[in-house]
Amino acid sequence: MTTTRTQARAPRVGESALRPDGIPKVQGRFLFGNDLWADGMLWGKTLRSPHAHARIARIDVTPALAMTGVFAVLTADDVPGSGVFGLEQADQPVFASGVVRYVGEPIAVVAADHPELARRACEAIVVEYEVLTPLVDSQAAITAAAIHPDGNILRHLVIRHGDIDAIGDVVVEGIYEVGMQDQAFMGPESGLAIPDDDGGVQLFVSTQFVHADRDQTAACLGLPPDMVRATVAGTGGAFGGREDICLQVHVCLLALRTGRPVKMLYSRDESFVGHVHRHPARMEYRHHARRDGTIVKVEARVVFDGGAYASTSSAVLANACCFGAGPYRVPNAFIEGWAVRTNNPPCGAMRGFGAVQTCFAHEAQMDKLADALAIDRVELRLRNALEPGDTIITGQRITGTAPVAAVIRACADAPFPAGAELDPDSESAPMLLRPGGAGRTADARHVTRALGFAVSYKNLMFSEGFDDYSTARVRVEDGIATVHCACAEVGQGFVTLAQQIAREVLDIDEVVLAPADTHVGSAGSTSASRQTWMSGGAVEGACRLVKAQMEADAAAGTVQRVYEATFEHHHAPTQRLDENGQGDAHVSFAFAAHRAVVDVDRDLGLVRVVDVTTAQDVGRVLNPVQALGQIEGGIAQGVGLAVMEELVVDQGRIRNASFTDYLIPTALDMPTVTVAALIEEPEPGAPFGAKGIGEPPTISSTAAVAAAIRAATGRAVDRVPVRPDDLLF
Amino acid sequence: MTYALHVNGAEHHVADGWPGESLLYVLRERIELPGAKNACEQGECGSCSVLVDGLLVCSCLVLAESVSGCEIETIERHSALSRVQQAFVDAGAVQCGFCTPGLVVAIEDLLDREPEPDELTVREAISGNLCRCTGYGRILEAVRRAVADPRAAVPPTEPS
């Protein structure tokens, strides 16, 4: 909401410029969505379903409305526009009506003059349910009776590539599972809505994609899009969990109904049901290879549990399948994927977006294959590594950079950092650094150290024909440049890059960032590792237009005081996948390798991740410190999925919706992270040659840790997160 | 219910407070000090860390009225950047920034007690502060920088 000025020093592209919001953030002055406040503000609160599947027999809001200090109670009957929303298909109700399909589904919202009163008013609403049997088995959902008018199949995708009947000399099989991970961003969902005099509304919301929020909210409010004036509020992390609508429609409905500003913010337990999660997946794999290690064919059948509503399940499944054979030359493939609807919590985007799940499976398969062939695991990967010009299993030829062998070699050959040597003096290791830490300390004699290795790849930007673009407006006045772009800053550091790019192109030191809002064209979502390329390119393009005009005027002697230009940056068009899952569906690919060293207590089944070393294909580093921060932070989430992070869902109900029970890595849990190499081969078509870097660190780090645990224990480790029971029984 | 809170050297009168309000809620919503953050409100994440009579606490777990008469220090206590704050900015320890104020308060508390901690001591001291963006790497680097800051030789900044 505030305009941020640049620091005195003015670094260009490629330097470690400091964040323009760094100082207000360390001082506690930076305003997040939940810090917002307005005169006469009311508090909104959501009543949610306690059942995974039930018919709603009756709702009586009168006891809540009768409470002094309660100003509105709204249900499905109060939605003036579309009753449903959704990023890919509008299938999710603003409020459940007639039926509830997951635990936590909104039933009603309340506005009151104190948050505690709003909570009590929610409790006073009477809802009578007829409880139904929940559909919680994703495999069964394929043929089960539909739990939604749109059916249970969110997507069924088949990739047929080459000779699907090809047979290898050696065949290895496995069945793998990934549990449900939560984004667990630190700043819970929050937003403030302020009614406008013309019947419209201002919305300030912590989000990844403010134009999608605006459009979906306007449709539900029955307003034209330009009457919903949406601004990205300070956003405390996202990781995919803020791409969908959560409270946007609710808070605007309450503001418009009461005529007063209304603020909503979710508690942590509510946040766990208030956003989508990483899809749990079950994956059956069969790899065929020649005796020399050449991969002949990959077969897979994957089932992703999308939960009650579609969200981005379709695109997640496409990624899982397209990259399901890994970054290897695979001439023949048959991959069948299902994304299904169940009464489990809705799943959608999370960092890595489908590639994480199948990477865990294909990398476990590669290790199995190496062992079956008696070939070194790293060597097997090198023999099959994709190169520029190769064709992937969707029939698409890689026209950009693909330094797969380079990331593998750099990572595998890196020296082990101090403390992570493979022959440790574990007797002298500090207690806190043993598996289990201070609480359940392992006996050093029972600790085994081992390493694992994994490689991954993923698309950058949106795929499958999506018209993906970003818009930036740049104004130069009195030697100061102002950049206006709706790119959501969620912590990734686009604000820093935008300044660096504007300085680089315009050769102007002072660059001001206008608020990210819907008064400028869409920037698309802060997801899919796309904003450096898409919005970075939009800022670059607008700056180049301004610069060209300035230079032309200077040459003509007609210099103006103000220059302004708007640029819409589209990436190269992509195709939909055909009925065989073939087509040039993706723009660009990024590759990464991870090597994990773990200590495992064989008696207790406890794991400590000691080090994760990585090499990553980045195109070009635009800001070294920020790149390091993305890599370290992404690996933390990958390590979390490997050894601790799982939403435990029982009959559709999340059993551990708190930071007491859903564990994310602390500073003591985190291994050292060693960046062996950032491979800088500029990507053709990418602004400044830079590839997105946010997701790859999360993708193969999980698989590498799992491989290391497998090596330490000899156990199958065919499921993540790895639980002590998996290593003992 | 009316009571006084002594925060960062200034007295604030809280009128019409509800007895169940946490110190975190009152700081944020009644006396306009939103620096302490509300990420979990269960004492698990440390983002609401403040000092009460010099003791590091999660303000979400403290009833506001119960610390009337105590000296409360929040992230807003500094009029200028402290060495820890400066080191966070310089080291790239800030991403989304939601955990940052709590971490700064916790690290300043650690360095007050232990001016030159080794890395394991730092990791343990901040293990009650969850960060989801950074993986803690740049935060540990910020602590190294703060320890090396020449200002470490002089007493910490007084409350503003």
* Range list for CATH 1.10.150.120 in chain B: 83-152
Specify the higher pLDDT residue, A4 or B104.
B104
Task: Verify whether the Cβ–Cβ distance B132 to A114 is below 8 Å.
Answer: no
Instruction: State how far residue B6 is from chain A, nearest Cα, in angstroms.
Output: 19
For the segment A226-251, the average pLDDT, to the nearest whole number, is 98
Whether the CB of A32 is below 8 Å from some CB of chain B: the reply is yes
Pick the residue of A15, A18, A27 with the most B CBs within 10 A to test the interface with B by mutation.
Answer: A27
Q: Are strands A84-85 and A126-131 parallel, antiparallel or unpaired?
A: unpaired
CA distance A664 to B129: 11
What number of C-beta contacts closer than 8 Å exist between A and B? 183
pLDDT at A7 over 80: no
Give residue A302's identity as a one-letter amino acid code.
V
CA distance A89 to A341: 13
ipTM of the complex: 0.97
Task: Verify whether the Cβ–Cβ distance B89 to A22 is below 8 Å.
Answer: yes
Comparing CB atoms, the residue among B32, B97, B134 nearest residue A629 is: B134
Instruction: State how far residue A504 is from chain B, nearest Cα, in angstroms.
Output: 21
For B24, half-sphere exposure in the C-beta direction (CA atoms, 13 angstrom radius) is: 22
Instruction: Tell me how long chain A is.
Output: 729
Whether the CB of A153 is below 8 Å from some CB of chain B: the reply is no
CA distance A337 to A359: 14
* Binding-face residues of A in 234-253 toward B, CB within 8 A: 234-239
Token output for A256: 């418009």
CA distance A518 to B19: 41
In this structure, the number of other CB atoms found within 10 A of the CB of residue A49 comes to: 22
Token output for A312: 């981005």
Residue A2 has a pLDDT of: 46
pLDDT at A390 over 60: yes
Q: Are strands A42-48 and A262-265 parallel, antiparallel or unpaired?
A: parallel
Q: Tell me the domains of chain A and their CATH numbers.
A: 22-30+469-570 (3.30.365.10), 400-459+588-729 (3.30.365.10)
In this structure, the number of other CB atoms found within 10 A of the CB of residue A66 comes to: 11
Give residue A360's identity as a one-letter amino acid code.
F
Task: Verify whether the Cβ–Cβ distance B89 to A23 is below 8 Å.
Answer: yes
Chain B residues lying within 8 Å of A493, measured CB to CB = 95
pLDDT at A332 over 90: yes
pLDDT at A5 over 60: no
Token output for A249: 């429609």
Q: Which residue of A has its CA nearest to B137?
A: A632
Chain A residues lying within 8 Å of B20, measured CB to CB = 116
Instruction: Tell me how long chain B is.
Output: 160
* Binding-face residues of A in 423-462 toward B, CB within 8 A: 430, 432-433
Chain B residues lying within 8 Å of A492, measured CB to CB = 95
Chain A residues lying within 8 Å of B28, measured CB to CB = 35
Cβ atoms of B45 and A237 within 8 Å: the answer is no
Collapsing DSSP to helix, strand or coil, A495 comes out as: helix
Q: Are strands A106-112 and A70-74 parallel, antiparallel or unpaired?
A: antiparallel
Comparing CB atoms, the residue among B32, B76, B90 nearest residue A18 is: B90
Chain A residues lying within 8 Å of B100, measured CB to CB = 25-26, 28
In this structure, the number of other CB atoms found within 10 A of the CB of residue A157 comes to: 18
CA distance A419 to A426: 10
CA distance A223 to A210: 16
Specify the higher pLDDT residue, A388 or B152.
A388
Tens digits of residue pLDDT in A533-545: 999 999 999 999 9
Q: Which residues contact B158 (CB under 8 A, 6 or more apart)?
A: none
For the segment A311-333, the average pLDDT, to the nearest whole number, is 98
Residue B150 has a pLDDT of: 81
CATH 1.10.1060.10 fits B83-152, yes or no: no
Instruction: State how far residue A540 is from chain B, nearest Cα, in angstroms.
Output: 23
Pick the residue of B16, B28, B94, B105 with the most A CBs within 10 A to test the interface with A by mutation.
Answer: B94
Question: How confident is the prediction for chain A on average, in pLDDT?
Answer: 96
Whether the CB of A636 is below 8 Å from some CB of chain B: the reply is yes
Residue B160 has a pLDDT of: 41
Least confident of A103-117, A609-623, A701-715, B141-155: B141-155
Token output for A336: 């069948």
Closest among B98, B102, B148 to A189, alpha carbons compared? B98
Instruction: State how far residue A184 is from chain B, nearest Cα, in angstroms.
Output: 7
For the segment A448-464, the average pLDDT, to the nearest whole number, is 97
Chain A residues lying within 8 Å of B81, measured CB to CB = 23, 26-27
Domain B3-75: CATH superfamily is Beta-grasp domain (3.10.20.30)
Q: What is the DSSP letter of B35?
A: T
CA distance A486 to A208: 10
Pick the residue of B95, B118, B145 with the most A CBs within 10 A to test the interface with A by mutation.
Answer: B95
Q: Which residue of A has its CA nearest to B21?
A: A116
Cβ atoms of A169 and A291 within 8 Å: the answer is yes
Q: Which residues contact A369 (CB under 8 A, 6 or more apart)?
A: A170, A172, A287, A289, A293, A295, A380
Instruction: State how far residue B63 is from chain A, nearest Cα, in angstroms.
Output: 15
Whether the CB of A116 is below 8 Å from some CB of chain B: the reply is yes
CA distance B9 to A544: 51
Q: Which residue of B has its CA nearest to A635?
A: B135
pLDDT at B7 over 60: yes
In this structure, the number of other CB atoms found within 10 A of the CB of residue A572 comes to: 13
Chain A residues lying within 8 Å of B131, measured CB to CB = 186, 667
Task: Verify whether the Cβ–Cβ distance A635 to B39 is below 8 Å.
Answer: no
Tens digits of residue pLDDT in A394-411: 999 999 999 999 999 999
Question: How confident is the prediction for chain B on average, in pLDDT?
Answer: 94
Residue A172 has a pLDDT of: 98
Instruction: State how far residue A60 is from chain B, nearest Cα, in angstroms.
Output: 28
Residue A9 has a pLDDT of: 60
Task: Verify whether the Cβ–Cβ distance A667 to B96 is below 8 Å.
Answer: no
pLDDT at A426 over 70: no
Q: How confident is the model at residue A709 (pLDDT cuts 50, 70, 90)?
A: very high
Instruction: State how far residue A15 is from chain B, nearest Cα, in angstroms.
Output: 13
Tens digits of residue pLDDT in A471-500: 999 999 999 999 999 999 999 999 999 999
* Range list for CATH 3.10.20.30 in chain B: 3-75
Tens digits of residue pLDDT in B110-139: 999 999 999 999 999 999 999 999 999 999
Reported as type and span, the H/E element at residue A287 is strand A281-289
Whether the CB of A610 is below 8 Å from some CB of chain B: the reply is no
Instruction: State how far residue A308 is from chain B, nearest Cα, in angstroms.
Output: 26
pTM: 0.97
Q: Estimate the crossing angle of helix B100-113 against helix B137-148, to 10 degrees.
A: 40
Q: How confident is the model at residue B159 (pLDDT cuts 50, 70, 90)?
A: very low
Task: Verify whether the Cβ–Cβ distance A27 to B37 is below 8 Å.
Answer: no
DSSP A620-660: S-S-HHHHHHHHHHHHHHHHHHHHT----EETTEES--STT
Q: How confident is the model at residue A442 (pLDDT cuts 50, 70, 90)?
A: confident
Q: How confident is the model at residue B1 (pLDDT cuts 50, 70, 90)?
A: confident
Q: Are strands A480-485 and A511-513 parallel, antiparallel or unpaired?
A: parallel
Chain A residues lying within 8 Å of B130, measured CB to CB = 186, 659, 664, 666
Residue A436 has a pLDDT of: 82
Least confident of A76-85, A422-431, A713-722, B20-29: A422-431
Residue B154 has a pLDDT of: 61
Q: Which residue of B has its CA nearest to A268?
A: B40
Task: Verify whether the Cβ–Cβ distance A625 to B136 is below 8 Å.
Answer: no
Comparing CB atoms, the residue among A21, A265, A659 nearest residue B40 is: A659
Task: Verify whether the Cβ–Cβ distance A666 to B95 is below 8 Å.
Answer: no
